[in-house]
Amino acid sequence: MNTYHISVIPGDGIGKEVVPAGLRVLDAVSAIHGFGLHYRHYDWSCELYKSTGKMMPDDGIERLGDSDAIFLGAVGFPGVPDHISLWNLLIPIRREFDQYVNLRPVRLLAGVPCPLVNADKKKIDFWIVRENTEGEYSQVGGRMFEGTDREFVVQQSVFTRHGTDRIIKFAFEFAKQQKRLRVTSATKSNGIYHAMPYWDERFAAMAKGYPDIIADQYHIDILSARFVLSPERFDVVVGSNLFGDILSDLGPGVTGTIAVAPSANINPERRHPSMFEPVHGSAPDIAGKAIANPIGQIWSAAMMLEHLGEQQAASTIIHAIERALCAPDRRVTPDLGGNCSTDELTDSIIGNLK
């Protein structure tokens, strides 16, 4: 029997509510499909920061290093500045483990109402490939003349050839593997003077190697409008760290709720563990109320199993989510218009695992 070692970091806010839900589904599906999961639990969070001054111990990255995967909830909570909490836990994990691909599916799930009136809803089914280790997310820069009226801040973006080429290549390879027709690049080369013309240049060069795939590009502003006006036209959308971040909340918004959206932070070479987490954050406004929708976390668990080679178990989970959402007597959380709890929706998904 295969057994996988999973490092579990619930983190903050609703992360502490949806991660246990995800683990319950993982336990149930592993029993059905006959593999083992061994968890190592870590309480790394803003709470830990408040008592120790650290989001994770000094050897945190080392401790995660030999896991088969990392299963994370959400990081960041009022009381600790976001740039402190995120740059001392989530972002270092992505970088230290070179998880340079952030893969985020955008799919209208059966049973989730789509807010768009005109879209061909059956066809909203595409992937965002987000660069995850460089770009606009950078600590290069600083504040000068602090406290004076000459004060200014410089924030640098970093686009390396290696980093730019590998994410664009991943997008084309992924489109090929998924038998998708089109790769769309998110750019802003009319305004961002150095980085985005460079991104376009590397995208055009890579596209030449994939003559069977349609390569197109849009500036991020009109691309955002097209996400809403014609989401069915996309297959794979590739973007820098910041553009990919924004598009990967917009896409799930277009498909009804960000609460169901999953993500995979992947090190494709498998030299380091990959990390699986929902797209959403710690949701301080509903934390502690036991009403968080667990589907983003549970779908992330499915992406993790797929990454580990347990494809059948992954699709068992996806089908169970859809069956639970489509049941005539369905019980869903408030974000989907219902009044049930995180645990009740999780029970209903577990009841639909076959």
d(CA 72, CA 238): 23
Alpha-helical regions (H) of 110-254: 161-177, 195-207, 220-229, 241-254
Nearest to residue 301, comparing CAs of 64, 37, 71, 38?
71
Give the length of the chain: 354
Q: How far is the CB of 268 from Mn ion (least distance, A)?
A: 21
Nearer to ligand IPM, 29 or 275 (CB): 275
Of 263-302, binders to ligand IPM (CB under 6 A) are 279, 281
Structure token digits, residue 230: 């014609």
Q: Is 245 in the site for ligand IPM (CB under 6 A)?
A: yes
| Environment class of 90 (CB within 10 Å of its CB; exposed 0-12, middle 13-18, buried 19+) | buried
Using rule CB under 6 A, residue 250 touches ligand IPM: no
The nearest distance, CB 257 to ligand IPM, in angstroms, is 15
Distance of closest approach, residue 86 Cβ to ligand IPM, in angstroms:
4
Q: For residues 88-107, which are near ligand IPM according to CB under 6 A?
A: 90
CB 43 within 8 A of CB 105: no
Q: Which stretch binds Mn ion (CB under 5 A): 119-127, 243-251, 285-293, 317-325?
A: 243-251
Least distance (Å) between residue 279 CB and ligand IPM: 6
Q: Which does 119 bind (CB under 5 to 8 A by kind): Mn ion, ligand NAD, ligand IPM, none?
A: none
Q: Which residues bind ligand NAD (CB under 6 A)?
A: 14, 18, 74-77, 82, 86, 90, 258-259, 277, 280-286, 292-293, 296, 335
Name the 3-class secondary structure at 164: helix
Amino acid at 52: T
What amino acid occupies position 288?
A: G
Q: Nearest 10 degrees: CA dihedral of 48, 53, 55, 57?
A: -100
* Residues near Mn ion (CB under 5 A): 245
* Site residues, ligand IPM (CB under 6 A): 76, 86, 90, 245, 279, 281
